[in-house]
Chains A and B, each alone.
Chain A
């Protein structure tokens, strides 16, 4: 899900960079002190998640966990994701510095969307609702991310990227399933143990 250096055109890079900068600014403003520690833990998790790969046929895909970051952190997910992506680019060579903005948008925008879906109407009340909404957020974070990634490639006008979306979605189905399960389980567990985590300082 990391777009490499030298693939995208300048307008797409600049657009992504601008959008990401604005979102990070909003994210930092909306981060209460009480959420800093949780943000650090999830940042470390997001950073490491991309190293966990799942074999799919001849290829393999990796976890992203942006949906989970979204429902737990709300707007704070944006600065968290940008820091994790920066370190992934510097230490692992995933993505790159010039594409940091676009990659942030590709992964953080779905996180915000997942948060909005999860917390719609004041958030779920029952465990079962939390499971469902968590599952939708987990899978949706990946699906929307892929759509954004393919759009960025399509806007650049590369070698017929749009027909790719079907295959890309297909190989990511296992990731969507796994992230749906992880996110649903954590959402349901937290709803019982610490419901404030899932509602405090949402998108509103």
Chain B
């Protein structure tokens, strides 16, 4: 994944050019432009979680919005009423597992450092019969397929939680639009007074 470094020469050059032109507007424009166009300016810090039920085993992963994994953070499994049933800590890859969870609705709450927190709800369907249990035997085709679907579901969840370029541009556009409106509104009043 490409990352943005402030020492990247092209952006440094743009900044220097901005300073040399001695125009503060150019400086501000260059800084915001360099930030907007920097290749990886689409991810950052909020805690994210993927979680899925694998026949009564709840598997998930905890990571930050820039997709660095959250290691050794506490994850709680709560029932629908909010009582804690189990807790665990994420491993080196941010993964966590709750085993032998009975059928029902659950809340999964994870807390990272620095006041990060994420919560998700999950319906668990534990195998009822011996046949269902047999399907989860490792090595069987069904188990393999189930594993792949589980991974796919987690990929989808991760993708859904990504910061999208459209959101970034939308936010910046909104800020500039509102600023322009306020400036026009204030300017309009001044002009009216001048006319009078």
Query: Which of A40, A45, A178 contacts B35 (CB under 8 A)?
Result: A45
Known contacts A51-B42, A92-B46, A94-B44, A41 near B32 by CB under 8 Å = yes
**Which of B27, B115, B186 has the most chain A CB within a 10 Å cutoff?**
B115
Residue pair A91, B171 in contact (C-beta under 8 Å): yes
Residue pair B190, A33 in contact (C-beta under 8 Å): yes
Residue pair A92, B24 in contact (C-beta under 8 Å): no
Cα separation A59 to B6 with both chains bound (whole Å): 18
Residue pair B179, A39 in contact (C-beta under 8 Å): yes
Residue pair B3, A55 in contact (C-beta under 8 Å): yes
Residue pair A40, B163 in contact (C-beta under 8 Å): no
Residue pair A51, B163 in contact (C-beta under 8 Å): yes
**With a CB–CB cut-off of 8 A, which chain B residues contact A91?**
163, 167-168, 170-171
In the assembled complex, A62 has its CB within 8 A of some CB on chain B: yes
Residue pair A94, B43 in contact (C-beta under 8 Å): no
In the assembled complex, B153 has its CB within 8 A of some CB on chain A: no
Cα separation A159 to B111 with both chains bound (whole Å): 10
Interface string of A60-77 (1 = CB under 8 A from B): 111000000000000000
Cα separation A87 to B178 with both chains bound (whole Å): 13
Query: Which of B19, B35, B117, B179 contacts A7 (CB under 8 A)?
Result: B117
In the assembled complex, A38 has its CB within 8 A of some CB on chain B: yes
Residue pair A38, B47 in contact (C-beta under 8 Å): no
Give the dominant DSSP class at A's interface: helix
**With a CB–CB cut-off of 8 A, which chain A residues contact B57?**
none
Q: Choose, from B65-73, B97-105, B126-134, B139-147, the stretch at the interface.
A: B65-73
Residue pair A186, B183 in contact (C-beta under 8 Å): no
Interface string of A37-63 (1 = CB under 8 A from B): 111111111011111111100111110
Looking across the interface, which residue of chain B has its beta carbon closest to that of A146?
A: B114
Looking across the interface, which residue of chain A has its beta carbon closest to that of B109?
A: A6
Interface size on B, residues (CB 8 A): 60
B184 to chain A minimum Cβ distance, whole angstroms, is 10
Looking across the interface, which residue of chain A has its beta carbon closest to that of B22?
A: A193
Cα separation A88 to B115 with both chains bound (whole Å): 16
**With a CB–CB cut-off of 8 A, which chain A residues contact B64?**
59-60
Known contacts A4-B47, A47-B172, A94-B46, A33 near B115 by CB under 8 Å = no
Residue pair B186, A48 in contact (C-beta under 8 Å): no
Known contacts A33-B190, A36-B182, A51 near B117 by CB under 8 Å = no
**With a CB–CB cut-off of 8 A, which chain B residues contact A149?**
114-115
Beyond the given pairs A4-B115, A8-B115, A53-B44, 12 more chain A to chain B contacts, judged by CB atoms under 8 angstroms and listed by A's residue number, are A36-B186, A37-B183, A44-B172, A50-B44, A51-B44, A58-B71, A59-B68, A60-B64, A60-B66, A83-B175, A87-B171, A87-B175
Using a CB–CB distance below 8 Å, which chain B residues touch chain A? 3-6, 15, 18-19, 22-24, 27-29, 31-32, 35-36, 38, 40-47, 64-66, 68-69, 71, 74, 109, 111, 113-119, 161, 163, 167-168, 170-172, 174-176, 178-180, 182-183, 186-187, 190
Q: What are 25 residue pairs bridging A and B, where the CB atoms are less than 8 Å apart in the complex? A: A4-B46, A4-B117, A5-B117, A40-B178, A40-B179, A44-B176, A45-B31, A48-B172, A50-B44, A52-B44, A60-B45, A62-B44, A87-B171, A87-B174, A88-B171, A91-B163, A91-B170, A161-B115, A164-B114, A168-B114, A182-B31, A186-B31, A190-B24, A192-B22, A193-B22
